[in-house]
Structure 1
Amino acid sequence: MIEKKEKLNLLNKVFSPTAPIKEENFFRGRIDQLKRIVSVMNEDGQHVILFGERGVGKTSMANISQKHITNLFSVKVTCSSEDTFNSLWNNALSQVQFSRTISGIGFKPQEKNSLVDLSNVLRAIEDMQPYDVYNCLSQFPMFKFLFIFDEFDNIKSQHVRSKFADLIKSLSDNSTNIKIMIVGIAENVINLIGNHQSLERCLMQIRMPRMSEPELLEIIQKGCDEVEMEMTKQVQNKIISFSSGFPHYTHLLSKFSLKNAIEKDQIKVKTENLDFAINLAIENAAEHLRESYRMAVFSESGNNKWQNVIFACAKCYSDQFNSFTVEDIIQEYQNLVKKECRIEDIQNEIEALCDKERGFFLEKQATESNTRFKFANPMMKPFILLNIEAA
């Protein structure tokens, strides 16, 4: 039986809404993606690019990959908008240090151990090229390296991205002991590293989708088991529904619900605990979400039409790409206002939500035959659903 204080402390390890998962014991789901990454490590000439929406767990996957793959030297670098090819590789190589035995000379030579710092090899080069990195690392064929470059979408320089593409191509053709994993927010590989057809055969493209309901349920149930607590099916289902596939919200709502129940000396999480968690989640949401929401719902006349349109966008049917049509929106809007409406009644509001004055709340995807919309920030949908519940 776990004591109350220990349960509260354990919650911070089991549920991690504000930081990526680092411990394999607390990582849930994503088995298929992890298997594909591991398979690349055993395939000569293959590298990985891991991409997807914000908040789907890409960094957590990168962290767990490091823990899971034990037969190589793993290094992880978080990219920033100021980084260059030089700074990224100086950062990466500064984390690679190992001891090397050097034979002495003379009649009675003695062996000496020398510390090798790979960053010293390239630091003097002002304009580092892909072949410089390759030449440096190829001197150590006895070691296997994995270099993970996370948040690669922060790199805006096409020149830097092209250098990485050239390096991956070179490593694929010539080296078997060096692996590179590119991780970042993107709808497709081209958006992340550019259009390089020569990379298709050597770059395993792994999209991180939103989590499935069974995966989200696993987060909840395994977390409850860790702290020896229970949760009603109704609360579990609500958390999954609100999460909209994003593990962040599952961790957040589960943690706050359980914390509230534990503090009240309950052994089962009920709706009242979830209500507390929802209000806390809204209060503690990222400021950019809160500000974007405020800009979108603002009404000079004080009516709630803008709010209802936004609520309808969050609740309406969306396709596999999380996009929806005006027809989808109007159907849900009618349910909210409880009267029949025409598309013309809300068309201006929907179009305005795509403009700067409303914070570019929606993105418009127009073709000759079809026009669809989606949230500019995918994590806005669960935030709106929480506001609907709290209203």
Structure 2
Amino acid sequence: MDVFKSFKSEKEKTQSVDNFFTPSKPISSPENLRGRNEEIAKILGALTTPGMHCMIYGDRGIGKSSLALSTLEGGKEHEILPEFIFQYRCIKRTSFKDIIEKPAIFIDSSYKANKIESVKKYGARAKLLDLFSVEGSREEKIIIEKEELTANKAASTFQNLDSILLIDEFDVVSDEVKHEVAEFVKQLSDLGSPFKVLIVGIGSDGEALIAGHQSVIRCMHEIKLPRVEDKYLEEIITNGELGLSLNFTPAIKERIIEISSGFPYFTHLLCKESSEQAIRENKQTIDDEVFSKALMQAVKNTEGQLKRCYDKASTSSRTDMYPKILISAAKFNNEQFTVKQWIEQINSDHNIELTYGSMNNYTGKLTKPSRGNVLMLVRRGVYKITDPRMPSYILMCHLAGS
């Protein structure tokens, strides 16, 4: 059997797994979202309050996009939110005009041709701002060039459009674009527009996500997304078990939850690889044997950025110490730790006694790009792992023997 037939045959066996475990894409169905009822209620509250908009922020891999998409889908389904929802996922080169293009085209398709000729559009809950100058019975058509559609003009154009604009991965855009979007939101709020904006991005606080634009804070409800509680991670596993007629042993469930450390991404990844491995072997129970093979696949299939950073941090032709000290650092689970605490943890884990001088050599390197910036200096003698997902990946590598 050639590679294509082999792949097709295997995919046909395992494709049902993607209905329950989705590490590579956000969850869009409210039924598959776990442990976020409080946040859903807050988002719905903000988006149904006149003049109020919403922002979701937190760590990467915590489920921000899944929360946003599932809330909007459920809100539409239950007729709480408008029927028309526009989505835009940002990249570094994203401009303000890119972000607002979809609703602009919805109002008038000529915007795509670099201009908007104002034409009244009725029905489908779309109401275009009256851009006509009326003198008696004469109507003068006004043309808005695309380049001229500033934050203020966009707010005026969309002010009667009953819809929601989801802006995802907002953290990657420039401060200039963040300021324009913040001004756009402020103007919509001032106009009392039914057009709402939902911003999603990585950040430790909401102010950083909008580049410190203070005037928008009063009309932007901020939601910092915490890690998912263990009981809800277990629900993700149980839901997949029932849907796929598989059984994760209690010990494997516990191990998956421990590795995940509150990040649904790792729960979905480990469950997907485990389920596919079991199905390939015609097994119904995911035990140590199945999970050990799945773990190696999960390490290979983890998001590239984590892999690259860890490989840079751990690979050395001169010493095998880096993986050892990294697994000890991961034990602090994203909390800050002193060099003294780290030395003690290394001694406990590996029975290796290191001096402050030798540790300074490692810490100095692990904070540099050449070692993946895996470590950050919080203050003198105190460190923290830079990416909060990294401890989970380090633990996966350690358990897989990578």
Question: Per-residue deviation at 1:152?
Answer: 0.8
> Separation in 2 of the partners of 1:49 and 1:43?
14
Q: Give the AA of the match of 1:242.
A: I
Output the amino acid matched with 2:19.
Answer: K
Whole-Å Cα distance in 2 between the matches of residues 245 and 253 of structure 1? 13
Is 1:241 the counterpart of 2:258? The answer is: yes
Distance 1:87-1:371 versus aligned 2 partners, 3 A rule: same
In 1: Cα distance, 2:67 partner to 2:199 partner = 12
Determine if contact 1:122/1:132 at 8 Å carries over to the other structure. Answer: no
Matches within 5 A, 1:111-150: 124-138=145-159, 140=160, 143-150=161-168
Report the AA paired with residue 125 of structure 1: K
Q: Distance in 1 between matches of 2:41 and 2:279?
A: 36
Alpha-carbon shift at residue 314 of structure 1 (Å): 1.0
User: 70, 94, 110: which is aligned to 2:105?
Assistant: 94
Amino acid at match of 1:91: K
1:29 is displaced (CA, Å) by: 2.2
What whole-Å deviation, never above 9, does each CA across 1:176-231 have from its counterpart, x for those lacking one?
41211111111111221111232222111111122221121111111111112221
- C-alpha contact (below 8 Å) 2:333/2:391 kept by paired residues: no
- How do 1:148-227 and structure 2 match up within 5 A? 148-156=166-174, 158-227=175-244
The match for 1:356 among 341, 360, 369 is 369
Distance 1:122 1:180 in 2: 26
In structure 2, what is the Cα distance between the partners aligned to 1:180 and 1:124?
23
Of 382, 385, 388, the match for 2:395: 385
Deviation at 1:93, TM superposition (A): 2.7
1:1-391 alignment, distance < 5 Å: 8-70=14-76, 71-72=81-82, 73-95=84-106, 124-138=145-159, 140=160, 143-156=161-174, 158-301=175-318, 303-316=319-332, 318-319=334-335, 323-366=336-379, 371-391=381-401
Letter matched to residue 326 of structure 2: I
Contact 2:64 2:225 in 1 (8 A): yes
Q: Give the Cα–Cα distance (whole angstroms) in 2 for the partners of residues 231 and 160 of structure 1.
A: 46
8 Å Cα contact 2:85/2:165 also seen in 1 = yes
Relative to structure 1, is the Cα distance of residues 54 and 113 closer, same or farther in structure 2, using a 3 angstrom cutoff? closer
In the TM superposition, what is the alpha-carbon distance from 1:36 to its structure 2 partner? 0.6
> How far does the alpha carbon of each residue in 1:115-174 deviate from its partner, in whole angstroms, 9 at most, with x for none?
979799986231322221122122x3xx52111111111211x22211211121222222
Residue 82 of structure 1: SS of its match in structure 2? coil
- 1:342–1:317 Cα change, 3 Å: farther
Separation in structure 2 between the aligned mates of residue 118 and residue 244 of structure 1, nearest angstrom: 48
The CA deviation string for residues 40-64 of structure 1, in whole angstroms up to 9 with x for no partner, is 1221111101111111111111211
Higher mean C-alpha deviation, range 66-75 or range 120-129? 120-129
Give the distance between the partners of 1:180 and 1:122, measured in 2 at CA. 26
Q: Secondary structure at the match of 2:24?
A: coil
Deviations 1:242-268 (A, max 9, x none): 112211110011111122223333222
Between stretches 381-390 and 196-205, larger displacement belongs to 196-205
User: How large is the Cα RMSD of the aligned pairs?
Assistant: 2.7
| C-alpha distance in 2 between matches for 1:49 and 1:353 | 33
**Residues in 1 aligned to 2:68 and 2:26: alpha-carbon distance in whole angstroms:** 9
Q: Give the letter for the 2:316 counterpart.
A: S
Q: Percent identity?
A: 27
State the TM-score, normalizing by the size of structure 2. Answer: 0.83
Paired amino acid for 2:257? I
Q: 2:218 aligns to what SS in structure 1?
A: coil
Amino acid corresponding to residue 88 of structure 1 in structure 2: I
Give the aligned length. Answer: 364
Change (3 A) 1:19 1:267: same
Match of 1:104 in 2: none
